[in-house]
């Protein structure tokens, strides 16, 4: 057999196979049920927007199907002619739809006029790649332009990629239906009202006391365990990785508040695998959210085996927890009892087990990791700036004469510098750092004078807007004073660009809980303990001078953005405060 003809047949067969695969892929992603997985025709503008165009998918898939049907004949003819034609004819035919796709994306797509990286205009893989690295927030920051997408009354809904996060049934976070979302959010809101939060205070104080004991054990006889201050300062403790310890603390806190059960990660290593499994699981999910195509033929599961394992571990834990809690029944005043009592206003039915599991997962994911990022970033920035730390410590210790005076309420709210530090850390290290995407509903929407067609996915990067120099001069510097009316060195009203909890109907439900908890915890720790950075590990947590993709600032707390944010450090050592302060 002529070797050229055998090679031709192999090329032909492979090309045919590839086209078949592409056609079935397009079939899959054009299926309305799987539209959440459709990303082949995304277009990313400077505002990091993407649009889904079912028509174009249909055209492209029809071309490919025709090619698949008639290719054997065409290729047969190609095989009879001599090189280079046997290669160029199939290539030419294959490239027609491809070139058509590229031209459409670059020139005729409804969002084509927006400037943005070429790769992002052609495929969602750029977002997937950065989601994998965990630096999507840096990438968005580079591409950023400011638009308002989130307010009430905008013709927007949660975008379809959120469905990737669904386990059996959507939660308040992932629900797209506005009516259903509204009633579920109403149920949960009752458990996050000011009075409900006040009722959680004793639990928060017990846990922070426990944490202080681990970070720096009591110096026995001098501290009776009540509000006494030791006569002398104790010695410095070994260093603690505050990313991990804040994770442990907030995991305990959320399970206590939501399920009335504390797994005591602070004192016992038994359940410490759970937040760690969740962090691993989030990496794969964040890549699929940004680039749904990666889930085609379960490629994601092959690439992120460890992540899949983490998800299984985490879900097993939640299912066991829910089963256990259901056996014990309602009546503990925790969030779970609110879910058990809730009735659907239309059907009068109670929430199903799947719905309760979905909300439980949401509470743990949304409530623990985020607040932990906030607290660990406060440690990072304060420990790196001893003067600002001293100012905060002074404010707390002079406001509260004894430890037992530390409670939620007016006095704590009057600690302005504490609030300023919290706002500044939420700005610098937003726990949800990249863009919460919204999909334009039928009829389209006008944002900042630009028309956006139905189906477009648009979002504003939270990290991006909060590092915009126009609103926050010296955006990468820790300057709590910018939040103090009388000391703001820039005189710019920056509140509208400060959106760590997002805004509008899908804004964070746990904002008050998170800020109140962190204020209370920080006040308590500052009152009880002195802390400073561990010199030998002082660089952990910051960027490195030759770091890529924005990770080049040693003074910036590094977030690894996988839906919520993973972190490492800072390493802090503690000692009990003494009377000589």
User: Which residues bind to ligand HEM, rule: CB under 6 A?
Assistant: 172-173, 185, 362-363, 366-367, 370-371, 374, 431-432, 436, 500-502, 506, 508-510, 513-514
* Cβ proximity to ligand HEM, 337 vs 502, nearer residue: 502
DSSP 8-state class, residue 157: E
Looking only at the bridges linking them, the beta strands covering 529-533 and 240-241 are unpaired
The DSSP call for residue 346 is: T
Decide: 140 and 435 in contact? Cβ < 8 Å: yes
CA-only gyration radius of the chain, Å = 27
Which residue's CB is nearer to ligand HEM, number 185 or number 218?
Answer: 185
Question: How many Å apart are CA 515 and CA 426, to the nearest integer?
Answer: 10
Nearest residue to 435 via CA among 179, 162, 223, 39: 162
Q: Which is nearer to ligand HEM, 167 or 185 (CB)?
A: 185
To ligand HEM, the closest distance from the beta carbon of 213 in angstroms equals 24
Measured from each CB, the residue nearest to ligand HEM is 510
> First CA to last CA across the chain, in angstroms?
93
Who's near 24: CB < 8 A, 6+ residues apart?
A: none
Query: Nearest approach, Cβ of 363 to ligand HEM (angstroms)?
Result: 4
**With contact defined as beta carbons under 8 Å apart, do 383 and 478 qualify?**
no
The residue among 64 and 362 lying less far from ligand HEM, judged by its C-beta, is 362
Pairing of strands 156-158, 438-440: antiparallel
* Closer residue to ligand HEM (CB): 370 or 466: 370
Using CA atoms, how far residue 65 sits from 96, 203, 260, 456, 490, in Å, is 13, 62, 57, 27, 61
Minimum distance of ligand HEM from residue 47's CB (angstroms): 16
State the minimum distance, in angstroms, from the CB of residue 445 to ligand HEM: 17
- Output phi, psi for 169, to 5 deg: -145, 150
Q: Nearer Cβ to ligand HEM, position 155 or 222?
A: 155
Whether residue 91 is preceded by a cis peptide bond, meaning omega within 30 degrees of 0, is: no
DSSP 4-56: HHHHHHHHHHHHHHHHHHHHHHHHHHHSGGGGGG--TT----TT--EE--HHH
How do strand 240-241 and strand 156-158 relate by DSSP bridges?
A: unpaired
Rounded Cα distance between 568 and 139, Å, is 20
Q: Annotation-wise, does 246 bind a ligand? A: no
Which residue's CB is nearer to ligand HEM, number 61 or number 172? 172
Q: Considering the complex, what minimum distance in angstroms separates the CB of residue 537 from ligand HEM?
A: 25
Q: How far is the CB of 392 from ligand HEM (least distance, A)?
A: 18
- The secondary structure of residue 520, as a DSSP letter, is H
CB of 156 to ligand HEM, least distance (A): 11
By beta-carbon proximity to ligand HEM, the closer residue of 112 and 507 is 507
Smallest separation, CB 530 to ligand HEM (Å): 25
Taking alpha carbons only, the member of 67, 18, 98 closest to residue 10 is 18
Residue list, annotated binding site: 508
Annotated binding site for heme: 508
């Amino acid at each position: 057999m002529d070797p050229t003809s055998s090679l031709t047949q192999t090329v032909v067969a492979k090309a045919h196979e590839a086209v078949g695969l592409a056609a079935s892929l397009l079939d899959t992603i054009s299926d309305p049920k799987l539209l959440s997985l459709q990303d082949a025709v995304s277009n990313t503008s400077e505002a990091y927007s993407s649009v889904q165009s079912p028509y174009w998918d249909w055209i492209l898939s029809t071309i490919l199907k025709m090619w698949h049907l008639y290719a054997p004949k065409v290729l047969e003819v190609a095989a009879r002619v001599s090189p280079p034609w046997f290669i160029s004819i199939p290539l030419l035919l294959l490239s027609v739809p491809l070139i058509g796709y590229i031209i459409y994306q670059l020139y005729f797509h409804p969002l084509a006029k927006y400037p943005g990286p070429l790769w992002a205009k052609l495929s969602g893989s750029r977002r997937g790649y950065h989601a994998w690295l965990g630096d999507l927030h840096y990438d968005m920051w580079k591409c950023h332009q400011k638009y308002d997408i989130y307010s009430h009354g905008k013709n927007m809904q949660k975008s379809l990629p959120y469905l990737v996060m669904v386990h059996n049934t959507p939660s308040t976070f992932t629900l797209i239906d506005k009516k259903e979302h509204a009633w579920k959010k109403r149920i949960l809101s009752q458990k996050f009202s000011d009075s409900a939060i006040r009722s959680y205070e004793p639990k928060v104080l017990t846990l922070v006391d426990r944490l202080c004991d681990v970070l720096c054990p009591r110096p026995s006889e001098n501290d009776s365990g009540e509000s006494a201050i030791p006569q002398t300062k104790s010695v410095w403790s070994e260093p603690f990785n505050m990313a991990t310890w804040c994770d442990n603390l907030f995991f305990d806190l959320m399970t206590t508040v939501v399920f009335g059960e504390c797994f005591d990660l602070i004192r016992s290593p038994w359940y410490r695998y759970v937040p760690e499994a969740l962090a691993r699981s989030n990496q794969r999910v964040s890549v699929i959210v940004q680039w749904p195509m990666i889930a085609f033929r379960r490629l994601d599961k092959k690439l992120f085996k460890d992540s899949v394992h983490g998800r299984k571990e985490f879900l097993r834990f939640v299912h066991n927890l829910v089963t256990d809690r259901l056996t014990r029944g309602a009546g503990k005043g925790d969030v779970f009892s609110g879910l058990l009592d809730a009735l659907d206003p239309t059907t009068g039915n109670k929430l199903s087990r799947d719905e309760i599991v979905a909300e439980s997962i949401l509470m743990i994911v949304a409530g623990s990791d985020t607040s932990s990022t906030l607290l660990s970033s406060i440690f990072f920035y304060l420990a790196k700036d001893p003067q600002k730390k001293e100012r905060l410590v002074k404010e707390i210790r002079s406001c509260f004469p004894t430890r037992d005076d530390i409670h939620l309420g007016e006095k704590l709210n009057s600690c302005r510098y504490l609030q300023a530090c919290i706002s500044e850390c939420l700005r610098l290290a937003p726990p949800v750092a990249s863009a919460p995407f919204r999909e334009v509903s039928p009829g389209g929407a006008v944002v900042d004078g630009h028309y956006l067609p139905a189906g477009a996915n648009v979002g504003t990067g939270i990290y991006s807007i909060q590092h915009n120099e126009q609103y926050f001069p010296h955006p990468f510097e820790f300057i709590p004073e910018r939040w103090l009316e009388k000391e703001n060195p820039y005189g710019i009203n920056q509140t509208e660009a400060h959106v760590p909890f997002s805004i509008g109907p899908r804004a964070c439900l746990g904002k008050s809980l998170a800020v109140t908890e962190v204020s209370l915890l920080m006040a308590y720790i500052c009152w009880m303990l002195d802390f400073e950075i561990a010199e030998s590990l002082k660089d952990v947590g910051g960027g490195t001078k030759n770091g890529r993709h924005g990770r080049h600032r040693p003074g910036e707390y590094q977030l690894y953005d996988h839906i919520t944010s993973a972190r490492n450090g800072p390493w802090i050592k503690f000692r009990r405060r003494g009377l000589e302060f």
